[in-house]
Amino acid sequence: MKIVVKMEMVNDKKFNEIVSILENKYKNVGYYLNFKTPIDLLVAAILSPQTRDTTINKLTPKLFENYHTAADYAHADKAELLSYISSVTFANPKAERIIEACRIVDEKYGGRVPDEKEDLLKLPGIGEKTAVTILINAYGKVEGIPVDTWVIKLSERIGLADSKNPDKIEEELKSKIDKKYWHNFAYILKEHGKELCGSIPHCSKCPLNGICPKNGVTKSL
C-alpha cells in the first residue's frame, strides 16, 4: 500500500540551501548528450525525446562522422539517415524533423544554428526545453531552466515547485534560484534522481536528509 502525504513547500532560505547542497554533490555533472558542434547538438536534441541518453550517445558517433553540416542533413536521403538512427523511438518522424530543421537552418540562417530562442522555436522538433538546452550548451546563453521529467518529479517531491506544468515550474524555479545555477540545475536533479531519489528514494543516504520535506515523498508500506 502507498500513502501519499501532502508535501510542504520549502521557504526561500531552505530552497537556496538545497540547491547549494545538490550543486556541491553533483558539481561535475553536465549535459548528458555528446556533441562537438551546434548542429550535432541540434540533431541529438531532436533525437532524444522518449529515447535513452545511452542509446543516443551510442549511435551519434557514426552519424556525426557522415553528416557534418546543416546542408548535409538538409540534402540527406531519408532512408540512409534512418539507417543511422533506427534504434531511437519514432525514428521516422524524427528523421523528417531533422531534415526539415536543417533545411531551414541552411537556407534561412546560412547553416548556423540560431542563437535566439524565438528562432529555435520555429524549427521542427524544437520546443521550449530543447531551445533553452541548445542555447546553454551550444552558445553559453542562459535564458531559462530546461524542465524535463526529472525536474518535474523532483521539484515537486523536494518542495521546490508546486505545479506539474513545465512552464509554470520553470517560472517558479527562475523566480527563486540564483541564475548562476540555471545552466546545470536540470542535470543536477536528473543525476540526483538516478542516484538517490528515484522511484524508491534512499533518504538515509541523501545529503538533503534533514532539510528535505520528506513528508511529501510517497512512502511504501
User: Quick one: cell of 221?
Assistant: 508500506
pLDDT one digit per residue (tens) for the chain, 221 residues: 343 434 455 556 677 888 889 999 998 888 999 999 999 999 999 999 999 999 999 999 999 999 999 999 999 999 999 999 999 999 999 999 999 999 999 999 999 999 999 999 999 999 999 999 999 999 999 999 999 999 999 988 888 888 889 999 999 999 988 888 899 999 999 999 999 998 888 988 999 988 887 644 444 32
Torsion sign, CA atoms 85, 88, 93, 98: negative
- Residue ranges of the chain assigned to CATH 1.10.1670.10: 2-30+145-220
Residue pair 99/73 in contact by the 8 Å Cβ criterion: yes
Cβ neighbours for 216, distance < 8 A, ≥ 6 positions apart: 5, 6, 7, 8, 156, 157, 158, 159
User: Quick one: cell of 213?
Assistant: 520535506
Cβ neighbours for 34, distance < 8 A, ≥ 6 positions apart: 44, 57, 60, 61
Instruction: Give whole-number Cα distances, 165 to 10, 46, 88, 149, 194, in Å.
Output: 19, 21, 26, 11, 22
- Residue ranges of the chain assigned to CATH 1.10.340.30: 38-139
- Residues 183 and 186: their CA atoms lie apart, in Å, by 8
Phi-psi region of 27 (alpha: psi -120 to 50; beta: other; left: phi over 0): alpha
| CATH code reported for the domain at 2-30+145-220 | 1.10.1670.10
Class in CATH terms, 38-139: mainly alpha
What does pTM read for this prediction?
0.85
pLDDT of residue 216: 45
- Residues 146 and 167: their CA atoms lie apart, in Å, by 10
